[in-house]
Amino acid sequence: MDSGSMPGAQTAKVDLSGPRRSVEQASHAPGAIYHSPEIYEREVEVLFKKEWLFVGRVEELPNPGDYATMRICGEPIVVARDRKGQLSAFYNMCVHRGVEVAEGSGNARSFKCPYHGWVYDLEGKLKGAAHMDQSVGFDKANCRMRPLRLELWRGSIFVCFDLEGRPFEEAIAPFEKDFGFLQMDRCRLGNKIRLELNCNWKFVPENIMDFYHVNVLHAGTFGSNFTWSNDDVVLRDRGEFSIWYQAAPPTPGGELLLGKMPWMEDREVSFASHGFMMPNLTIFGRIDCVRPFVAWPLGPDRCEVFVYHLFPEEVFERPDIEEKLAIYEEYQLKVLGEDSSMMESMQRAMSSPTYVAGRMSALEKPLHHYLNGYLDRIFGDRGAGTGAGA
């Protein structure tokens, strides 16, 4: 393969040499990375259709019959808990004509296609198909909605489209090593925030890992209680990493509203950690809570973001818990508002012919590492990366 071509693309070249240099000499990625439809399609196939993806928490589907539908890069899927309590994931497509058999979320005994009435159990297996007796060779027992792989890690649900892909244990190993002590399996979902943004999905994890901007953009929120060093960044394979730093609890004034997590009593109030897992999962660990962030593509220049606030089971017995959870949610929305305006502004620049990617700061070490892991996956390992098709 030509070092300046991308599989499946026959359009203009894009110079990738800037981010391929060492962080002290590097520049940011060219604008096409954030707005090219061809690159976006490549991301969907190489990342989102291959990697393990965080899709929610087990406490969102606590009972037999509970289900939730979602779309991942346009693909409709269902996650459901069967009568034995086991979770399954499968495409939300009737095997007859592809109609979606489930809508929204709720509790069901089975799924029935609203078009021709085919019935499926909570594992996606076909249980009834009227007027199919004369269809030669049709075997109801071997029909089911196409499955996805599903695994659990500390109360979190992950799915993978690639049935032959790498084992989940391998994918989750760095997070278990670095963040298992946060004991997310002893936590419960306090609130869940959804935002839709007019920017490329990559700007979300990039913004989160860009500590360079914190003391400027967030000076009025949490920036004054935030310190870190490049020495505290642990780089992992595939563009993944972990960071250890100091920050106040994520509340107005940095107040410890719900106390420390019980298993974190020996840690300082300023304890903070941050982990990134390809392609789109960030976990923030703080002294009082754990916050997974997920960015889902809706196209080259749109995305949706989910933020989960997880707290120890014990705090939900407090009489003031709803009041305290509302404070966490409102504060998070305020910070997200600060970031959103910047991400959408960057997106507007990406398609401009006058945009030229600027130099990186040495403080952008995590972003530089992530970006090179991303470029390796999308364009291949090209060393200096003199160019790539877009």
Q: Domain 13-50+173-389 falls in which CATH fold?
A: Naphthalene 1,2-dioxygenase Alpha Subunit; Chain A, domain 1 (3.90.380)
* 147 SS3 class: strand
> By the 8 A CB rule, do 351 and 275 touch?
no
Where would I find the beta strands (DSSP E) of 256-380? 271-277, 281-286, 290-299, 302-312
Q: What are the two backbone dihedrals, phi and then psi, of residue 131, each rounded to the nearest 5 degrees?
A: 65, 30
d(CA 155, CA 159): 13
> By the 8 A CB rule, do 79 and 71 touch?
no
Q: What is the pLDDT along the chain (390 residues), one digit of tens a residue?
A: 333 445 444 335 789 999 999 999 999 999 999 999 999 999 999 999 999 999 999 999 999 999 999 999 999 999 999 999 999 999 999 999 999 999 999 999 999 999 999 999 999 999 999 898 889 988 888 899 999 999 999 999 999 999 999 999 999 999 999 999 999 999 999 999 999 999 999 999 999 998 877 766 776 776 567 787 888 899 999 999 999 999 999 999 899 999 999 999 999 999 999 999 999 999 999 999 999 999 999 999 999 999 999 999 999 999 999 999 999 999 999 999 989 999 999 999 999 999 999 999 999 999 999 999 999 999 986 533 333 333
Beta bridge partners of 53: 159
CATH 2.102.10.10 fits 53-164, yes or no: yes
The H or E element containing residue 171 is helix 168-179
pLDDT of residue 14: 85
Show Cβ contacts of residue 291 under 8 Å, excluding neighbours closer than 6 positions.
250, 283, 284, 307, 308, 309, 310, 332
d(CA 354, CA 135): 61
Q: Write out the residue limits of the CATH 3.90.380.10 domain(s) in the chain.
A: 13-50+173-389
The residue whose two tokens read 């106040």 is 248
> By the 8 A CB rule, do 60 and 68 touch?
yes
Show Cβ contacts of residue 68 under 8 Å, excluding neighbours closer than 6 positions.
56, 60, 61, 78, 79, 80, 104, 105
Count CB-CB contacts under 10 A for residue 190: 22
d(CA 305, CA 212): 21
* 77 SS3 class: strand
- Following CA atoms 232, 233, 236, 241 in sequence, which dihedral angle do they give, to the nearest 10 degrees? 120
Residues constituting the chain: 390
The residue whose two tokens read 């078009």 is 115
pLDDT of residue 2: 34
The residue whose two tokens read 């600060």 is 338
pLDDT of residue 223: 59
The residue whose two tokens read 């779309």 is 71
pLDDT of residue 381: 65
Q: Write out the residue limits of the CATH 2.102.10.10 domain(s) in the chain.
A: 53-164
DSSP 97: T
The H or E element containing residue 19 is helix 17-20
pLDDT of residue 388: 36
Beta bridge partners of 388: 14
Closest CA to 174 of 287, 278, 54: 278
